[in-house]
Amino acid sequence: MLSLKQSSLPMNSAVTISISIDQLCIGLYVHLDVGWMNHAFARNSFLLKNKQQIASIRQLGIKTIRFEAARSTCPPLPPPTSIAAPEVEIEQLSADELAMIRAKKARVDKLIAERVAIARCEKEYQKAASTVKNISRNLFSQPQAAFREADQLTREMCSSLLAEKDIAIHLMNDKIAGEETYYHSLNVAVLAMVLAKDLRLSEQEISAVGIGSLFHDLGKIDIPDRITTKKTELTKAEQNLLQMHCQYGVNMAEKVGLPKAAVDIIQHHHEYADGSGYPDRLTGDRTPKLAQLVCLINTYDNHCNQPNPANSLTPYEALAHMFAHQRKLFDPVMLTTFIRSMGVYPPGTIVKLSDDTFGMVVSVNPDKPLRPSVLIYDADVPKEEAIILDLGQETEVSVKDSLKASQLSPEIYDYLSPRMRMSYYFGGQGKSS
CA distance 395 to 392: 6
**Phi-psi category of residue 322: left, alpha or beta, with phi > 0 → left and psi -120 to 50 → alpha:** alpha
How many alpha carbons fall within 13 Å on the CB side of residue 409?
Answer: 7
What are the Cα distances from residue 212, in Å, to 5, 150, 193?
72, 10, 10
Question: Do 36 and 146 fall within a single domain?
Answer: no
At residue 174, the pLDDT reads 66
Q: Are strands 168-171 and 64-68 parallel, antiparallel or unpaired?
A: unpaired
* SS3 sequence of the chain: CCCCCCCCCCCCCCCEEEEEHHHCCCCCEEECCCCHHHCCCCCCEEECCCHHHHHHHHCCCCCEEEEEHHHCCCCCCCCCCCCCCCCCCHHHHHHHHHHHHHHHHHHHHHHHHHHHHHHHHHHHHHHHHHHHHHHHHHCCCCHHHHHHHHHHHHHHHHHHHHHCCCCEEEECCCCCCCCHHHHHHHHHHHHHHHHHHHCCCCHHHHHHHHHHHHCCCHHHHHCCHHHHCCCCCCCHHHHHHHHCHHHHHHHHHHHCCCCHHHHHHHHHCCCCCECCCCCCCCEHHHCCHHHHHHHHHHHHHHHHCCCCHHHCCCHHHHHHHHHHHCHHHCCHHHHHHHHHHHCCCCCCCEEEECCCCEEEEEEECCCCCCCCEEEECCCCCCHHHCCEEECCCCCCCCEEEEECHHHCCHHHHHHHCCCCCCCEEEECCCCCC
Question: Do 173 and 230 fall within a single domain?
Answer: yes
270 within some domain: yes
| ∠ Cα 326 191 167 (to 5°) | 125
Question: Do 210 and 129 fall within a single domain?
Answer: yes
| ∠ Cα 252 159 149 (to 5°) | 30
At residue 7, the pLDDT reads 44
At residue 128, the pLDDT reads 92
At residue 213, the pLDDT reads 97
Question: Do 118 and 62 fall within a single domain?
Answer: no
Neighbouring-strand partners of residue 169? 364, 426
Question: Do 219 and 118 fall within a single domain?
Answer: yes
The CATH number for 272's domain is 1.10.3210.10
Question: Do 141 and 40 fall within a single domain?
Answer: no
Q: Which of 47, 70, 93 is the last residue of a domain?
A: 70
Whole-prediction pTM? 0.79
- Are 390 and 115 in contact by the 8 Å Cβ rule? The answer is no
* Residue 37: CB atoms within 10 Å: 9
Q: Which of 48, 70, 92 is the last residue of a domain?
A: 70
At residue 59, the pLDDT reads 86
Note every long-range contact of 7-11, with CB atoms under 8 Å and residues 24 or more positions apart, other chains counting. 7/75, 7/76, 7/77, 7/78, 7/79, 8/75, 9/69, 9/75, 9/76, 10/69, 11/69, 11/70, 11/72, 11/75
At residue 370, the pLDDT reads 92
Buried b (16+ CB within 10 A) or exposed e, 279-296: eeebeeeebbbbbbbbbb
Q: Which domain holds residue 208?
A: 104-427
Average pLDDT across each block of 10 residues of the chain; the chain has 433 residues. List them in order. 38 69 93 84 88 89 90 89 52 62 76 81 89 86 88 94 84 64 88 97 96 95 92 94 97 90 98 97 97 98 89 93 97 97 94 94 88 91 87 90 93 89 78 49
75 within some domain: no
Q: Which of 46, 70, 94 is the last residue of a domain?
A: 70
76 within some domain: no
96 within some domain: no
273 within some domain: yes
Question: Do 199 and 310 fall within a single domain?
Answer: yes
At residue 179, the pLDDT reads 56
Name the domain count of the chain: 2
CA distance 385 to 364: 20
Question: Do 108 and 167 fall within a single domain?
Answer: yes
